[in-house]
Amino acid sequence: MKKRSVTDFLVIAACFLLLTPILSAHRVTDFMIFCIFVMSFDLMYGYMGRLSFGHMLFLGTGAYCSGLFIKYLTGNPFLAIPVGVLASGILAMVIGLIIVRTTGACFSLINLAFNQIGFFLVLSPLRGITRGEDGFGVRVASFGFLNFANPTFKFWFVLVCLLLIFYLLKRLTTSPYGILIRSIKEDETRVRFLGYNTFFYKWLTFVLAGGVGGLAGTLSALNYNFVNPNSMDVHSNVGVVFASLIGGAGNLYGALVGGVVYMVISNFLPIYIHRWEMFLGFSLLIIVFRFRKGMWGNIQDIGEYIRKRKGVGGPAAGEASKG
């Protein structure tokens, strides 16, 4: 681990800790789970350039599988987390074989179709075990201080998960693999020309994004102690797309910023503005037509501008935003 990434970790942790007194520990835990989800989405959209409109499928699968595992087998949360991640990962492996063949609009739509199928399965044919629209409660066992009923422990646990995922994705996206998936975003045919099996790398990215999405779902099941079909709702997909765009796609810091900003907007804006869906629509339009780089991209631009004024300008900061 380089010195820079240690500082990054400390800054991220400090930011979330600073949010805690302003909001509440429970809310910040919620924010962090959403940030994990946005990062998994960003791996697929921002880095590989495949916009999915059905990413909630993996969140829902993680939440349901871990929830059902706890409900019917054991109450051990530390076994349930790998179960949720694995379930989403395996699902992504299977449907990924079909989905990653497509690009562009078809990719988005077929994801949406699978998400709709999953939502329907949970709601209707599997009603017997998932309890349909009502959802079911999740009661986890506690081991000494490892107690998920304690909000403070939950907060720290999710924070560690967030940092871990951040570290993992940071390593992945700066590795040769990361460069490869970014090249697939730019021009897939040329990458194939260079002799790489692009299908495998796309599939791998899909599986990784699915697995991390499943982790977010598992954590949200543990956080709320409750699972219901909302965790797989097709309509919620717009939230994660919005968060990824507002923060700046193709950048993990952007994903974090976007996740927090979106959660603040969706939690607090409806209190003040009644027509908040309309607000969301107009801000999406403004982002698409004016601020494509998102908030993090603009912050970086300002940073670079200041550095240039000082005359120490280095390309290091600019490089991260290109991805």
Partner 1 sequence: MIYTILYGFTIGAILYFISIGLSLTFGTIRVINFAHTLTYTIGVYLLLTFIGYFKGFFFISGGLAVLVVIPLSYVIERFIIRRLYGESLDYTFIATFAVSLIGVDTIKWIWGVNPYPLSDPIGTYLAVWGLTFPLYRVLIVLVAVILFFALELFFKKTIVGKIVVAALEDKDGVRCLGINVDKYFAIVFILGSALAALGGVLYAPISSIHPYMGLSVLLLSFAVVIVGGMGSLRGTFVAAFALGMVMAITARYWSQGAETMVFIVMAIVLIFRPIDI
Under rule CB under 8 A, residue 273 binds partner 1: no
Structure tokens at 303: 């940073």
Under rule CB under 8 A, residue 209 binds partner 1: no
- Letter for the amino acid at 46? G
- Letter for the amino acid at 106? C
Under rule CB under 8 A, residue 105 binds partner 1: yes
Alpha-carbon distance of 211 to 205, in angstroms, equals: 10
Under rule CB under 8 A, residue 275 binds partner 1: yes
Under rule CB under 8 A, residue 183 binds partner 1: no
Alpha-carbon distance of 254 to 39, in angstroms, equals: 9
Under rule CB under 8 A, residue 261 binds partner 1: no
Alpha-carbon distance of 151 to 156, in angstroms, equals: 9
CA atoms within 13 A on the CB side of 181: 28
CB 84 within 8 A of CB 65: yes
Q: In this chain, which of 161, 280, 295, 320 binds partner 1, going by CB under 8 A? A: 280
How far apart are CB 49 and partner 1 at their closest, in Å? 8
- Letter for the amino acid at 265? I
Q: In this chain, which of 191, 241, 257, 299 binds partner 1, going by CB under 8 A? A: 241
Q: Which is nearer to partner 1, 220 or 228 (CB)?
A: 228
How far apart are CB 278 and partner 1 at their closest, in Å? 4
Strands 226-227 and 136-137: antiparallel
Binding site for partner 1 (CB under 8 A): 45, 49, 51, 53, 98, 101-106, 108-110, 112-114, 116-117, 120, 123-125, 235, 238, 241, 245, 275, 277-278, 280-282, 284-285, 288-289, 292
